[in-house]
């Protein structure tokens, strides 16, 4: 792996310059992240009521950074209500050693009682109109408070959204910014997660995609999707895969698809594409997606795809 | 003329010639009719005997001196009882001038002569040792035993020398040497072609042959081989003998004849018999000009390999494509020239050797976006690196078959000699070789090629073999026709363009058993559209019905194969006809190959209509643009 670090790092730097660091990213075409209250039913689309994102701040960046949350409260037209809004969602930012490198931090089954790293900031949001469709800013954070990791190309901060109570869905977005009041991207920064909880757009014409990164140890992958509600198709693209269909989950269940990877897919980004059902409109569809390698280790979804969006390169042969 | 001959150690005994640093590939000896007391040179075969030049006293009234030498006369040695006469006589008094006469060359079965002589033959003091009295070329016709109508060659010019004429075996080309202006210097070799009852303007053989010194004494042998003498090309010294030939319109670099034909003395005036295996040449290595005879050792080619057919038809596919039929993508393959094919695996036949670019676009059916756009794939096709015999694989007893080696493709190998072997050893030949087999059966035809000697002195060699079946007779299969001639071409792909229709016939060769014949007739008894239609690069799908019936015949008769003989007549130029015929033949072969037929059960052959196996004249048939014969025979 060592020999690929400079490559990954340079790819990161190259690819990030032209992207902003919002999660979900604009190019993913995903409108929002989602986390449900701790008393919710998983059939609403959130399997564990916790979402963990990591922010990468490149080594060159020494000025403070901010993690901004759009519409952090649970209680307006963006959020998903069950009965009346009664949910509390906590957002906590962590830094320090082990905030990422702890094995549990990368698990797709996080234990809320044992979140690794050093707590830098935390705030819980319930029904609070002053945050409706507004940005709340965590920080400033000194980048040196993050966990340094050469492999990932910078210092890592972690933000955990957890459903403390209630049964409503909080719909929100993140932005890694250099400003407390504006969304100014951190040059060379990125965000990633190992378990992507998001809300699909209602517009059936919209196509969403997320970008997991396959490292050099990967020989097969296992893509899991939760509570897709049969809302169209999920496909896998890569430099070597031209849109292989995945089995899609129905209501409140997981579907797992296993694919082998080829040599040229190592150290490259995949694309998981979501195309909504064109004949039947499914509204407010919340989905959870994970991807693991043959060892069961989670692979990260970067909001800014490493090395760019994969373009299928057919291998023409004649016989 | 064979060049690679075995080492013959008896040479010095036979001819008293020295060795000059190379293996001897000829057996040479002084000709029995050559004397040590006078000069003899430039023999030619004539009516079983030999005509040559000599300064032997002729008994003529005048015998002017040419420097210290006597003037040459044309002598004739007749054959009696299979043996050359020992007593030369003048060929003809009417061709004897008292000045220099000869060398000569004969045409029209010996009834036409072209010969050199001094232009002015008046017996006057002015002409004696007159350097302006140049040699010219004259012709005469033999009428009632008398050479008449003696006249100068069309392009003769008394200001310049024209000499050493040699007619090609077909009499349509006259080679000669001349010092007319515009050459490379000294005497140059020229030829004139006879067209429209006239000799065309002389053509210089060019700088590959002609040097600043002299090239002369051409001899046009069979198969387009031209022997000549040069003292400008690199040799052993003096005049040396070389040969060249035109291959695909280009003269090959002259090939130096080995010792013992060449020596440091002057070696010139070579002539061979029709087999190119023996002949005579002239040399002054024994001080006077003498005629030596030579024999070539038989040529052998070992390790002849079976000829492989060229393949220009392929299946294209995306190696990464996952065979999951739920992937909603469209694969669009652009083969250029307006030809597009669709599918994850497509089949395409290229028209022949060359460089092509295939572009693949993959369209996502769900989104309408391109997953991959015009991804280019370069295809370089060339004929297989081998000697190549173009011919039918079947023939009829006593009917002449043509074997053509002109499509041989050997990189780094410049062909100098063609040798053909149909079972009786290799014989020299040209690019084309004809043979009428007298008995039915299987024959192996071998083509051996020699190339230009490399820098280490090695002569490259290559050889292939091809099997042909000679049959005694055949019978037509009475096919029943349904009239589908006007039906549009159904193409799976979006190809547009002209549709070409060929007529179809089927034949049964006599080597099939009666049961096999009956079975084949039975399988082909249904009415068919008796045409096969081709688009620019494919077979129209409505022609598949008949082809599938042929395939069924082969499946049910595992010991039967089909020869598919394809002729296009849509082009006017034979070369273009052949190209189209070969393309159609490839498409048909590819069709059967993709039916997973036993590759030994079908072969297809494209050739010009003039070479039609069944002597059919399609020129008046305006409804079809070609003919396809399906010939069934035993494997």
Look up residue B114 and give its DSSP letter: E
Boundary-marking domain end, from B249, B277, B296:
B296
- Rounded to 5 degrees, φ, ψ at B600 are -80, -5
Q: What is the CATH number of the domain that holds B155?
A: 2.115.10
Task: Confirm whether B5 is domain-assigned.
Answer: no
Q: What is the CATH number of the domain that holds B352?
A: 2.60.40.10
Of B314, B322, B379, nearest to A244 by CB-CB distance is: B322
Task: Confirm whether B210 is domain-assigned.
Answer: yes
Distance in Å from the first CA to the final CA of chain A: 37
Contact between A230 and A286 under an 8 Å Cβ cutoff? The reply is no
Q: Look at A245 and B326 and tell me if their CB atoms are within 8 Å.
A: yes
Q: What residues of A are in contact with residue B347 (Cβ under 8 Å)?
A: none
Task: Confirm whether B436 is domain-assigned.
Answer: yes
**pLDDT, greater one: A281 or A198:** A198
Mind telling me how many Å the CA of A147 is from chain B's nearest CA? 38
The pLDDT value recorded for residue B368 is: 84
Task: Confirm whether B386 is domain-assigned.
Answer: no
Q: What is the mean pLDDT of residues A297-314?
A: 92
Q: What residues of A are in contact with residue B358 (Cβ under 8 Å)?
A: 316
Of B324, B367, B377, nearest to A207 by CB-CB distance is: B367
Whether residues B67 and B188 fall in one domain: yes
Instruction: Report the residue of chain A nearest B364, measured CA to CA.
Output: A243
Q: Is the pLDDT reported for residue A100 higher than 60?
A: yes
Q: Is the pLDDT reported for residue A177 higher than 90?
A: yes
- What residues does A316 pair with on adjacent strands? B318
Digit-coded pLDDT (tens) for A207-228: 999 999 999 999 999 999 999 9
Q: What is the CATH number of the domain that holds B581?
A: 3.30.1330.60
Instruction: Report the residue of chain A nearest B590, measured CA to CA.
Output: A319
Boundary-marking domain end, from B275, B296, B317:
B296
Q: What residues of B are in contact with residue A311 (Cβ under 8 Å)?
A: 372
The pLDDT value recorded for residue B475 is: 87
Of B324, B371, B375, nearest to A245 by CB-CB distance is: B324
Boundary-marking domain end, from B253, B270, B296:
B296
Which residues make Cβ contacts (< 8 Å) with residue B576, sequence separation at least 6?
A: none
Task: Confirm whether B494 is domain-assigned.
Answer: yes
Q: Which residues of chain B have pLDDT under 50?
A: 1-22, 59-67, 325, 492-494
Digit-coded pLDDT (tens) for B99-131: 899 999 999 999 999 999 999 887 655 555 667
Q: Look at B372 and A312 and tell me if their CB atoms are within 8 Å.
A: yes
Q: Is the pLDDT reported for residue A278 higher than 80?
A: yes
- What residues does B247 pair with on adjacent strands? B250
The pLDDT value recorded for residue B434 is: 92
pTM over 0.80: no
Which residues make Cβ contacts (< 8 Å) with residue B589, sequence separation at least 6?
A: B309, B313, B564, B602, B603, B604
Mind telling me how many Å the CA of B595 is from chain A's nearest CA? 15
Mind telling me how many Å the CA of B264 is from chain A's nearest CA? 58
Q: Which residue has the tokens 């049969």?
A: A230
Cα separation of B298 and A132, whole Å? 103
Q: With an 8 Å Cβ cutoff, is A315 touching chain B?
A: yes
Whether residues B364 and B408 fall in one domain: no
Question: What size, in residues, is chain A?
Answer: 319
Q: What residues of B are in contact with residue A241 (Cβ under 8 Å)?
A: 320, 322
Q: Which residues constitute the domain of residue B93?
A: 11-296
Contact between B635 and B559 under an 8 Å Cβ cutoff? The reply is yes
Distance in Å from the first CA to the final CA of chain B: 37
Optimal mutation site among B371, B379, B590, B593, interface A, most CBs of chain A within 10 A: B371
Digit-coded pLDDT (tens) for A108-131: 998 877 789 999 999 999 999 999
Which residues make Cβ contacts (< 8 Å) with residue A314, sequence separation at least 6?
A: A242, B318, B319, B320, B321, B360, B362, B372, B375
The pLDDT value recorded for residue B22 is: 43
Which residues make Cβ contacts (< 8 Å) with residue B418, sequence separation at least 6?
A: B223, B405, B428, B429, B430, B431, B433, B447, B448, B449
Q: How many CB atoms lie within 10 A of CB B533?
A: 24
The pLDDT value recorded for residue B575 is: 83
The count of CB pairs under 8 A between chains A and B is 71
Q: Look at B316 and A312 and tell me if their CB atoms are within 8 Å.
A: no
Task: Confirm whether B389 is domain-assigned.
Answer: no
Of A233, A243, A262, nearest to B371 by CB-CB distance is: A243
Q: Look at B320 and A262 and tell me if their CB atoms are within 8 Å.
A: yes
Q: With an 8 Å Cβ cutoff, is A247 touching chain B?
A: no
Q: What residues of A are in contact with residue B349 (Cβ under 8 Å)?
A: none
Q: What residues of B are in contact with residue A207 (Cβ under 8 Å)?
A: 367
Whether residues B250 and B106 fall in one domain: yes
Within 299-338 of B, beta carbons closer than 8 Å to A belong to 314-322, 324, 326-329
The predicted complex's ipTM stands at 0.72
| Count of structural domains within chain B | 4
**pLDDT, greater one: B82 or A86:** A86
Mind telling me how many Å the CA of B358 is from chain A's nearest CA? 9
Cα separation of B78 and B155, whole Å? 32
Q: What residues of A are in contact with residue B371 (Cβ under 8 Å)?
A: 237, 242-243, 312
Q: Is the pLDDT reported for residue A4 higher than 60?
A: no
Q: With an 8 Å Cβ cutoff, is A242 touching chain B?
A: yes
Whether residues B354 and B422 fall in one domain: no
Look up residue B347 and give its DSSP letter: E
The pLDDT value recorded for residue B2 is: 43
The pLDDT value recorded for residue A86 is: 95
């Amino acid at each position: 792996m060592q020999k690929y670090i400079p490559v990954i790092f340079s790819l990161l730097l190259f690819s990030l310059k032209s992207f902003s660091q919002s999660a979900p990213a604009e190019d993913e075409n995903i409108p929002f992240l989602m986390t449900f209250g701790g008393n919710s039913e998983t059939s609403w689309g959130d399997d564990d009521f916790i979402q963990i994102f990591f922010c990468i701040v490149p080594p060159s960046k020494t000025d403070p950074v901010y993690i901004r949350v759009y519409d952090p409260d649970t209680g307006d037209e963006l959020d998903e209500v069950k009965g009346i809004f009664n949910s509390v969602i906590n957002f906590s930012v962590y830094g320090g050693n082990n905030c990422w490198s702890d094995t549990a931090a990368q698990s797709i089954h996080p234990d809320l009682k044992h979140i690794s790293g050093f707590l830098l900031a935390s705030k819980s949001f319930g029904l609070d109109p002053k945050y409706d469709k507004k940005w709340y800013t965590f920080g400033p954070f000194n980048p040196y408070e993050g966990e340094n990791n050469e492999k990932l190309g910078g210092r890592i901060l972690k933000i955990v959204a957890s459903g403390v109570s209630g049964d409503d869905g909080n719909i929100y977005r993140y932005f890694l910014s250099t400003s407390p009041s504006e969304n100014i991207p951190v040059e060379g920064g990125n965000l990633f997660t190992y378990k992507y909880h998001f809300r699909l757009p209602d517009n059936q014409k919209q196509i969403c995609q997320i970008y997991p990164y396959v490292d050099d140890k990967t020989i097969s992958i296992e893509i899991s999707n939760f509570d897709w509600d049969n809302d169209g198709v999920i496909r896998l693209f890569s430099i070597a895969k031209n849109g292989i269909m995945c089995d899609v989950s129905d209501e409140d269940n997981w579907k797992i698809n296993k694919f082998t990877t080829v040599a040229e897919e190592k150290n490259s980004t995949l694309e998981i594409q979501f195309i909504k059902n064109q004949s039947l409109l499914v509204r407010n569809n919340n989905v959870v997606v994970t991807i693991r390698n043959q060892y069961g280790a989670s692979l990260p979804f970067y909001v800014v795809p490493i090395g760019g969006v994969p373009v299928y390169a057919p291998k023409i042969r004649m016989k | 003329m064979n060049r690679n001959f075995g080492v013959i150690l008896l040479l010095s005994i036979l001819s008293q010639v020295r060795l000059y640093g190379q293996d001897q590939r000829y057996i040479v000896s002084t000709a029995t009719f050559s004397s040590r007391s006078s000069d003899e040179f430039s023999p030619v075969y004539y009516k079983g005997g030999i005509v040559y030049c000599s300064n032997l006293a002729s008994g003529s009234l005048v015998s002017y001196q040419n420097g210290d030498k006597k003037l040459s006369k044309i002598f004739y040695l007749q054959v009696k009882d299979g043996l050359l006469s020992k007593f030369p006589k003048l060929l003809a008094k009417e061709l004897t001038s008292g000045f220099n006469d000869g060398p000569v060359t004969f045409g029209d079965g010996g009834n036409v002569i072209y010969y050199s002589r001094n232009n002015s033959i008046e017996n006057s003091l002015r002409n004696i040792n007159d350097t302006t009295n140049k040699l010219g070329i004259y012709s005469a016709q033999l009428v009632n035993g008398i050479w008449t109508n003696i006249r100068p060659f069309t392009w003769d010019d008394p200001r310049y020398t024209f000499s050493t004429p040699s007619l090609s075996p077909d009499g349509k080309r006259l080679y000669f040497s001349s010092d007319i202006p515009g050459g490379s210097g000294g005497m140059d070799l020229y030829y004139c072609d006879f067209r429209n009852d006239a000799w065309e303007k002389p053509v210089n053989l060019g700088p590959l042959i002609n040097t600043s010194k002299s090239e002369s004494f051409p001899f046009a042998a069979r198969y387009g081989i031209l022997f000549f003498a040069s003292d400008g090309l690199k040799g052993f010294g003096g005049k040396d003998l070389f040969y060249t030939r035109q291959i695909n319109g280009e003269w090959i670099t002259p090939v130096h004849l080995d010792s013992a034909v060449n020596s440091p003395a002057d070696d010139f005036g070579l002539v061979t018999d029709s087999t190119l295996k023996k002949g005579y040449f002239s040399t002054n290595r024994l001080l006077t000009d003498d005629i030596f005879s030579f024999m070539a050792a038989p040529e052998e080619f070992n390790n002849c390999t079976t000829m492989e057919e060229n393949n220009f038809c392929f299946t294209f596919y995306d190696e990464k494509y996952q065979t999951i039929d739920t992937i909603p993508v469209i694969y669009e393959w652009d083969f250029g020239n307006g030809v597009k094919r669709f599918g994850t695996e497509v089949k395409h036949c290229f028209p022949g050797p060359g460089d092509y670019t295939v572009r693949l676009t993959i369209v996502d059916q769900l989104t309408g976006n391109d997953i991959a756009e015009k991804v280019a794939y370069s295809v370089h096709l060339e004929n297989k690196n081998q000697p190549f015999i173009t011919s039918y694989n079947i023939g009829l007893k006593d009917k002449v078959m043509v074997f053509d080696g002109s499509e041989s493709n050997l990189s780094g190998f410049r062909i100098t000699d063609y040798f053909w072997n149909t079972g009786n050893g290799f014989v020299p030949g040209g690019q084309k070789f004809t043979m009428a087999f007298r008995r039915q059966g299987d024959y192996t035809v071998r083509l051996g090629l020699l190339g230009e000697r490399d820098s280490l002195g090695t002569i490259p060699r290559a050889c292939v073999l091809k099997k042909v079946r000679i049959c005694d007779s055949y019978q037509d299969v009475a096919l029943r026709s349904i009239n589908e001639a006007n039906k549009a071409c159904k193409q799976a792909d979006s190809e547009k363009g002209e549709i070409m229709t060929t007529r179809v016939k089927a034949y049964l060769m006599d080597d099939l058993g009666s049961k096999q014949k009956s079975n084949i007739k039975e399988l082909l008894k249904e009415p068919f559209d008796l045409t096969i239609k081709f688009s620019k690069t494919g077979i129209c799908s409505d022609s598949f019905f008949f082809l599938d019936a042929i395939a069924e015949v082969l499946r049910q008769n595992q010991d039967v194969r089909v020869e598919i003989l394809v002729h296009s007549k849509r082009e006017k130029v034979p070369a273009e006809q052949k190209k189209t015929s070969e393309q159609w033949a490839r498409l048909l072969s590819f069709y059967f190959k993709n039916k997973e037929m036993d590759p030994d059960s079908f072969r297809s052959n494209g050739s010009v209509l003039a070479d039609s196996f069944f002597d059919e004249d399609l020129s008046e048939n305006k409804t079809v643009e070609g003919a396809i014969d399906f010939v069934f025979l035993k494997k």
